[in-house]
């Protein structure tokens, strides 16, 4: 069988499980088979996201360093971080990559992650000059910043317009960088009061995460995932296009078997790291010796 590389092929694979003839489009809803095409177009993306959320598939793994939001949560946590736009499921928090067990966090509106743990902070770097130019250029010896990182400037004397403003680093060299807004627009400091002295610049707190991304390119899909997704899709449209509950039950049984196989092979591709810290063993040691202190456990590497 030829490689599956399009959403249309996956939909037709799903239709084959329902003994329904293949369609020629899931985006153009014309006769013949107009209703089937509309149903396929309606259910493909929800089925794909359902399948992606079901397991941390290797082909859809990604990482990101999130920049702390300028707006704090209303209560409960001190920090929140905007999630990537292609976020589907969280895999781990923090650069240690030990998963999320024992870490206090919350997801809000599927747009933010709220936590006060595993956050990376940075030291302030002294500023010695800021030019009046478009864009303005900051001199801070050995600052260590890279392009596109978000920093905040504080305590500048003279050019006070830059104080307490989050800016994006641009055109970074060893000792200088240009100022841009967080959206990437150059900041014109020509009309600002001249820089006099002082000031610091600090990289905004970041949070390293691993996550399952919203993978849309079918060419990246693992072959076992293709079969799994086709069955998820068939399960979701089965009753609507056939009206047969017994067939839907059979599809669910096939889905269960295929899902187990796909997850098992996916796990074998990246074997888990041996557990080095166990809450059970740790508790035995602590309480067996009369100690009452407990630590947050970190378990299996979910990379």
Is the same domain home to 42 and 72?
no
Residue 201: pLDDT band (50, 70, 90) is very high
The answer to the question of residue 76 being in a domain is yes
The answer to the question of residue 280 being in a domain is no
The pTM for the full model equals: 0.81
Residue 127 dihedral angles phi and psi, to the nearest 5°: -95, 140
**The pairing of beta strand 80-82 with beta strand 61-67:** unpaired
Is the same domain home to 138 and 192?
yes
Distance CA 294, CA 51 (A): 37
The answer to the question of residue 63 being in a domain is yes
Other Cβ atoms within 10 Å of 52 Cβ, number = 23
Instruction: Write the Ramachandran bin of 225: left for phi over 0, alpha for psi from -120 to 50, otherwise beta.
Output: alpha
The answer to the question of residue 245 being in a domain is yes
Q: What is the mean predicted confidence (pLDDT) over 49-61?
A: 97
Other Cβ atoms within 10 Å of 209 Cβ, number = 26
Q: Is 202 a residue whose pLDDT tops 90?
A: yes
Other Cβ atoms within 10 Å of 188 Cβ, number = 13
The answer to the question of residue 85 being in a domain is yes
Structure tokens at 64: 């990101």
Residue entry with tokens 């040691």? 285
Is the same domain home to 197 and 256?
no
The answer to the question of residue 298 being in a domain is no
pLDDT, tens digit, 9 for 90 and up, residues 95-119: 888 888 889 999 998 899 999 999 9
Domain holding 192, by residue range, is 125-204
Highest mean pLDDT among 1-5, 101-105, 249-253, 296-300: 249-253
Contact in structure between 152 and 202 (CB atoms under 8 Å): yes
Residues 6+ apart with CB under 8 A from 185: none
Is the same domain home to 228 and 193?
no
Nearest-10 Cα torsion for 40, 42, 48, 51 = -90
Is the same domain home to 180 and 192?
yes
How many domains does one find in the chain?
A: 3
Identify the helix (H) or strand (E) that includes residue 97. Answer: none
Residues 6+ apart with CB under 8 A from 188: 133, 134, 135, 136
pLDDT, tens digit, 9 for 90 and up, residues 61-85: 999 999 999 999 999 999 999 999 9
Is the same domain home to 139 and 182?
yes
Structure tokens at 223: 């072959």
Mean per-residue pLDDT of the chain: 90
Is the same domain home to 136 and 102?
no
Structure tokens at 59: 């082909």
Is the same domain home to 42 and 95?
no
For position 185, which CATH number holds? 2.40.30.180
Q: Could you tell me the CA-to-CA distances from 241 to 14, 52, 204, 237 in Å, in that order?
A: 12, 24, 52, 6
């Amino acid at each position: 069988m030829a490689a599956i590389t399009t959403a249309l092929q996956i939909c037709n694979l799903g239709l084959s499980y329902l003994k329904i003839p293949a369609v020629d489009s899931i985006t153009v809803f014309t006769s013949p088979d107009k209703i089937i095409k509309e149903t396929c177009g309606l259910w493909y993306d929800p089925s794909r996201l359902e399948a992606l959320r079901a397991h941390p598939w290797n082909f859809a793994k990604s990482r990101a360093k999130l920049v702390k939001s300028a707006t704090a949560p209303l209560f409960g946590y001190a920090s929140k971080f905007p999630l990537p736009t292609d976020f589907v499921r969280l895999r781990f928090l923090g650069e240690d990559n030990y998963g999320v067990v024992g870490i206090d966090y919350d997801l809000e509106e599927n747009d933010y992650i709220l936590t006060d743990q595993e956050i990376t902070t940075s030291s302030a770097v002294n500023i010695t000059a800021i030019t009046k130019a478009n864009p303005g250029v900051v001199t801070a010896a050995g600052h260590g910043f890279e392009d596109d990182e978000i920093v905040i400037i504080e305590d500048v004397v003279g050019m006070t317009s830059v104080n307490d403003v989050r800016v994006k680093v641009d055109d970074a060299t060893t000792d200088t960088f240009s100022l841009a807004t967080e959206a990437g627009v150059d900041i014109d400091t020509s009309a600002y009061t001249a820089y006099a002295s002082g000031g610091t610049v600090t990289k905004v707190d970041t949070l390293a995460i691993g996550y399952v991304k919203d993978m849309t390119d079918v060419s990246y899909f693992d072959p076992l995932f293709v079969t799994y997704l086709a069955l998820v899709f068939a399960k979701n449209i089965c009753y609507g296009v056939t009206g047969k509950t017994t067939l839907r039950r059979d599809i669910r049984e096939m889905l269960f078997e295929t899902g187990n196989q796909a997850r098992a092979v996916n796990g074998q591709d990246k074997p888990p790291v041996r557990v080095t810290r166990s809450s059970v063993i740790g508790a035995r040691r602590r309480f067996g010796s009369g100690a009452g202190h407990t630590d947050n456990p970190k378990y299996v590497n979910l990379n």
